[in-house]
A = this chain, B = another copy of it.
Amino acid sequence: MPLVTVEALEGRSVQQKRDLVKAITDAVVNVYGVPRDAVRVVLRNNAKEDIAWGGILFCDK
């Protein structure tokens, strides 16, 4: 019963989210051979002031 979490910058459209969960679910079903209904995907949307790379917030880059 795989659970996939995708953490990315906020601002994606519903259509992008729709396409992403479909493509990721396809990947898990094809490679791991699990039933489609067993795959759960959660999307997390981070603000630019809540992610940092190299010690610098995205909102400062």
Interface residue tally of chain A, by bracket?
Answer: 35 or more
From 23 to 43 in chain A, residues with beta carbon under 8 angstroms from any chain B beta carbon are 23-32, 34, 36-37, 39-43
Determine whether the beta carbon of B50 is less than 8 Å from that of A17. Answer: yes
CB-defined contacts of A34 to chain B, threshold 8 Å: 8
Q: In whole angstroms, what is the CA distance A4 to B2 when docked?
A: 13
CB-defined contacts of A51 to chain B, threshold 8 Å: 1, 40-43
CB-defined contacts of A43 to chain B, threshold 8 Å: 49-52
Determine whether the beta carbon of B46 is less than 8 Å from that of A42. Answer: yes
Determine whether the beta carbon of B7 is less than 8 Å from that of A49. Answer: no
Give the top 4 A-B pairs by smallest Cβ distance, nearest first: A25-B55, A23-B27, A21-B52, A2-B8
